[in-house]
Amino acid sequence: MGKAVFLDKDGTINHDKGYIDHPSKIDLLPGSSEAIRTFNEAGLKVVVITNQSGVARGYFNEGMLSAIDKSLQKKLLSENAFYDAIYYCPHHPEVGSYPYKQDCDCRKPNPGMLLKAAEEFNLNLDECFMVGDKLSDIEAGKNAGCKTVLVLTGYGEEVKANLNGTRPDFIAKDLLEAANWILTLA
């Protein structure tokens, strides 16, 4: 069974600018491509796990989301880094209309996207890591049995100040510091 690093997208890999509704709005955070390249070189799968309720809200459609994701991958590839897969949840439990308005198992903090990736890539989840800037990222990782890292980019500083019962295994200033910690354990 393999190992992977699950990464939240907005606020972890790229700047969180609200609902990113166009490929031109993808702007990598400093050090994120270097961190992902480090995972690539270590032989770890890199899987992006992202809630995208902008689809349910009608801000953009799944076709635009695909174009945005291709833009992210292209920017990473230009810096010799890549992700192996991206999983997104287009749902919201209270907003939108069918099929997007639903309480699903894929919307973080539920572990559905991680479980699906684990099945498709034959991953051992207790040897995997979930990295993100929101409590829902940490909870999704814990719900899937992964080690977790809170990055202080995006919403991370605010989340750190308000941590209650759910504690990440590590708190990192950014994705690069998270990568350095992960590689000591992987």
Per-residue pLDDT tens digits for 100-124: 999 999 999 999 999 999 999 999 9
**Options 10, 69, 137, 174, the catalytic residue:** 10
Tokens at residue 151, please? 């990055």
21 assigned to a ligand binding site? no
Write the CA distances from 79 to 12, 55, 76, integer angstroms: 17, 29, 5
What local confidence, expressed as pLDDT, does residue 120 receive?
Answer: 97
Quick check: is 103 catalytic?
no
Asked if residue 89 belongs to a known ligand binding site, the reply is yes
Query: Is residue 83 marked as binding?
Result: no
Say if pTM beats, i.e. exceeds, 0.85: yes
Determine whether the annotation assigns residue 173 to a binding site.
no
Structural domain boundaries, residue 144: 4-185
CATH number at residue 114: 3.40.50.1000
Whether 10 sits among the annotated catalytic residues: the reply is yes
Count of the separate structural domains present in the chain: 1
